[in-house]
Structure 1
Amino acid sequence: MIKSIAVDLHYFPNLEFFAAIAEAEELVFFPEEIYQRQSFFNRTQIRLANKVGTLSVPIQGRRPRVSQNKIKIDSSQNWVNIHLRGIQSAYGKAPFYEYYFPYFEKGFQKNHESLWALNWEMLTICLKLLGSSVKMCMHEKDQDQTWTKDIRGELMPSVPFSERDYYQPESYFQLFGLDFDPNLSILDLLFCEGPASKSIILKSVKKQ
């Protein structure tokens, strides 16, 4: 049987996400699920010169009970330039920045109105750069269950990754400072380690 995992769609997912799906052959996403505030749906963490910083995509309104695929990005805010500058500031001197940044820049320049569409595009790019062959698909409400494992709602910012059974930090080269910051955005790993990123993720899968 194909190992299929039901999972939430995140904005530039952190390393715990990739450790959790490391053995998956298929990822199943749910665009009609209700948007949850204080989630990774619109935020990610990167390593800056003096701290770990958060990049958040602004969304229109704060209406309850809205499905994720109906969440619109608030384009009145200059968020794209802020995120691009943040990424450039954080990783402009990283070994693989010049190779990978153009992929993400092109994705940002599409000016997605939907946060779901933006996240889907960026995750697709990340998986491609990781050399992953995992299949991504969306599940509609009236479809039969196809997944063999369900981790929806588990990877939340409010609970430390150490309290879950997916990710055991594997240190790698990072810019700025001597202390290693675990579980940052996949951007941190890709820009710093390039083609070695996939093997580092596999080493970070928590042993059961």
Structure 2
Amino acid sequence: MSRKLAVDLPYFPNLEYFAALAEADEILLCSGDLYQRQSYFNRTKIRLANKIETLSVPIQGRRPRIPLSQIKIDNQQKWLNTHLRGIQSAYGKAPFYEFYFPYFEQVFLGEQESLWDLNLEVLTICLKLLGFPVKMSVVHTLENKQGLIDIRGQMLPSKPFMHRDYYSPVPYFQLFGLDFEPNLSVLDLLFCEGPTAKSILLKSVKKH
């Protein structure tokens, strides 16, 4: 029986996100979902030498409750350079940085106007690099929920991952610090562990 999930579309998703969909055959992404403040839709976390840094994509306007597909990136702000410098500073010396970074650099250089389109492109690349054979479908709304597991809106920055049933951290090599920092952006895992990223994620799936 196929396992189908309705999931959010974060910006460079964290490890909990991939642990949640690791055993899925298909994921549904709903472009008609309404924008929620304080979500992962426009933010991710990376590890710098002396702190955990949140990278946020600036959004145009006052951001009323409109569909995610209508959210526009504020490209007048210099966020792109900030993110590129941050990622290079955090992972430039990581073992697999030079191998994986060009995939993401192409996305950044595309100068997307739609945050939905940017995130969709990022997720597509991440699934490919991780070797996750999951089918990805974009729908406007969920018409038929039969046989569907809906986890949209569950993973929020304000709610620790320990309170949910998806991710149990498995430590891996990180560049900075003595203590392992769990649930960072998937960039952290890819740049530091490369081809073993998938097996680490599969071991991180919380057992019930």
TM-score range, shorter chain: over 0.9
Deviation at 1:144, TM superposition (A): 3.2
Which whole-Å CA distance do the structure 2 matches of 1:135 and 1:165 have between them?
22
Offset of residue 197 of structure 1:
0.2
1:34: which partner in 2?
34
Task: Classify 1:147/1:102 alpha carbon distance in 2 versus 1 (closer, same or farther; 3 Å).
Answer: farther
**Cα 1:142/1:6, change in 2 over 3 Å:** closer
Q: Specify the alignment match of 1:69 in structure 2.
A: 69
- Divergent runs of 4+, >4 A: none
Query: Which amino acid is 1:155 matched to?
Result: M
2:78 aligns to what? 78
| 1:147 shift after superposition | 5.3
Q: How far apart are residue 65 of structure 1 and its match?
A: 1.6
Verify the 8 A CA contact 1:34 1:68 in the aligned structure 2: yes
For residues 68 and 140 of structure 1, what CA distance do their matches in structure 2 show?
10
Letter paired with 1:164: R
Quick check: 1:174 aligned with 2:174? yes
Is the contact made by 2:13 and 2:185 (CA closer than 8 Å) also made in structure 1? yes
Where do 1:1-208 residues align within 5 Å? 1-141=1-141, 143-145=143-145, 148-208=148-208
Q: Displacement, 1:17?
A: 0.3
CA contact (8 A) 2:29 2:139 kept: yes
Letter in 2 for 1:30: C
Whole-angstrom CA distance in 2 between matches of 1:89 and 1:46: 10
Q: Choose 134-143 or 110-119, whichever is displaced more.
A: 134-143
**Aligned residues with identical type, % of pairs:** 66
What TM-score does the superposition give when structure 1 sets the normalisation length?
0.97
2:69/2:116 contact within 8 Å kept: yes
C-alpha offsets along residues 147-206 of structure 1, whole Å, 9 cap, x if unaligned? 521101101111100011111000000001111000000000000000000000000111
CA distance in 2 between partners of 1:141 and 1:193 (Å) = 36
TM-score (norm. length: structure 2) = 0.97
Number of aligned residue pairs: give it.
Answer: 208
Gaps spanning 5+ residues in structure 1: where?
A: none
Partner letter of residue 95 of structure 2?
P
Letter of the 1:206 counterpart: K
**Structure 2 unaligned runs (5+)?**
none
Asked whether the equivalents of residues 30 and 142 of structure 2 are also in contact (C-alpha less than 8 Å), the reply is no
- Stretch moving more, 78-87 or 91-100: 78-87
**Which residue identity lines up with residue 47 of structure 2 in the other structure?**
R
Alpha-carbon deviation of 1:142? 7.3
Q: Which residue type is aligned with residue 144 of structure 1?
A: N
Q: Provide closer, same or farther for how the CA distance between residues 192 and 147 of structure 1 changes in structure 2, counting only shifts above 3 A.
A: farther
3-state secondary structure, aligned to 1:54: strand
2-structure distance, mates of 1:85, 1:69? 27
- Select between 9-18 and 141-150 the one with higher mean Cα deviation: 141-150
